[in-house]
A = this chain, B = another copy of it.
Amino acid sequence: MNDIPLPGPIAGVTGSPLDRADHIRIDDDAMAGLYGNLRARLLKLNDLDPEIEPDGALCWCSLAECPDDAELLFLGLDGETPCFAPLIEQGPPQRQQAYAAWRYLDLMPPSESATYATARSLIEWHRGHRFCSRCGNPSRIAKAGWGRRCDSCDSEQFPRVDPVVIMLAEYEGKALVGRQPRFPPKRYSALAGFLEPGESIEEAVARELHEEAGVRTKSVRYLTSQPWPFPNSLMMACIAPVEDDTIRLDENELDDAIWVTRDEVEAAFAESPDAPFIAPPHFAIAHTLLKAWLAGQ
């Protein structure tokens, strides 16, 4: 059995030191105390991008520096220090913003990325949910940033998290990696897709592998998970032995898919010019997944 130790990240974008302090969010008196706490910190962002120190740590400022038009989202407590993120109105998010953030993720330790991911996902969720989906009227922030309330129809919404399966098909000692059209040259990764209503993780893995590569799953082995804040995914990494290695590519989804050996994956991680592909970056769970597969997990 695969016991994953806690605390501390085994995947990128995990291990935030913040205590989410859920019980405080609905306690108006306690929250008033936190807003007035002189040590309270505000995450420094340029739109959705983080400001970071040379060592990859997130930059914070005091609440006094909060822009007048920003609302505050309570991220949690760092020891006794309340930490907030600013919610500033913007247009619809641009897809290329995700790639801008990758530059920062490359420099940040996983625990800092996890704090940033929490803030980014919350901000994007609020931006996309200014109106009540049930009645169409404007809604307002509730639970210190962890919900929205519609006073018109008396309903409440909570931040969305989209579960995504990401997996290596495995056949006779080889693993299946694929590339999406938007990837940089030679970059391959694990196949992935959104889990749908009415299916389990195991069924979603089997469906996605069949849809995208035409391979039939025999079993599914869950490995680990991490958030992926573009905008609000939960990545669930699995390894799936399959019945045979004949690939039938879904060309709407993938440019290519190839079977790779352990030696080839090791060459990719070593950045060898002979490697058949470029490995995913350390902060992507596909990196953790390929490393775990190499280690025989």
Contacts and interface: CB of A to CB of B under 8 A. Distances in A.
Interface of A: 1-7, 11, 14-16, 20, 22-23, 92, 114-115, 117-119, 121-122, 125, 128-138, 146, 153, 155, 157-163, 194-203, 206-207, 211, 217-222, 224-227, 229, 232, 234, 236, 241, 250, 252, 297
Contacts of A196: 20, 118, 146, 159, 161
A46 to B, nearest CB: 19
Contacts of A219: 3-6
Contacts of A153: 92
Contacts of A128: 133-134
Contact of A117 (B1, B197, B217): B197
Copies, count:
2
Nearest to A113: B198
Contact of A133 (B117, B130, B222): B130
B234 A122 contact: no
13 contacts: A2-B2, A5-B218, A6-B220, A14-B200, A117-B197, A119-B198, A121-B197, A129-B133, A160-B197, A161-B197, A195-B234, A197-B229, A200-B227
A206 B131 contact: no
Among A118, A160, A252, max chain B CB count under 10 A is at A160
A200 B220 contact: no
Contacts of A117: 197-198
A118 B197 contact: yes
Contacts of A16: 198-199, 203
Given A2-B222, A197-B117, A136 B131 contact: yes
A4 B161 contact: no
7 pairs of A and B residues whose beta carbons are closest in the complex:
A118-B198, A131-B136, A121-B197, A3-B219, A201-B225, A222-B222, A129-B133
B221 A198 contact: no
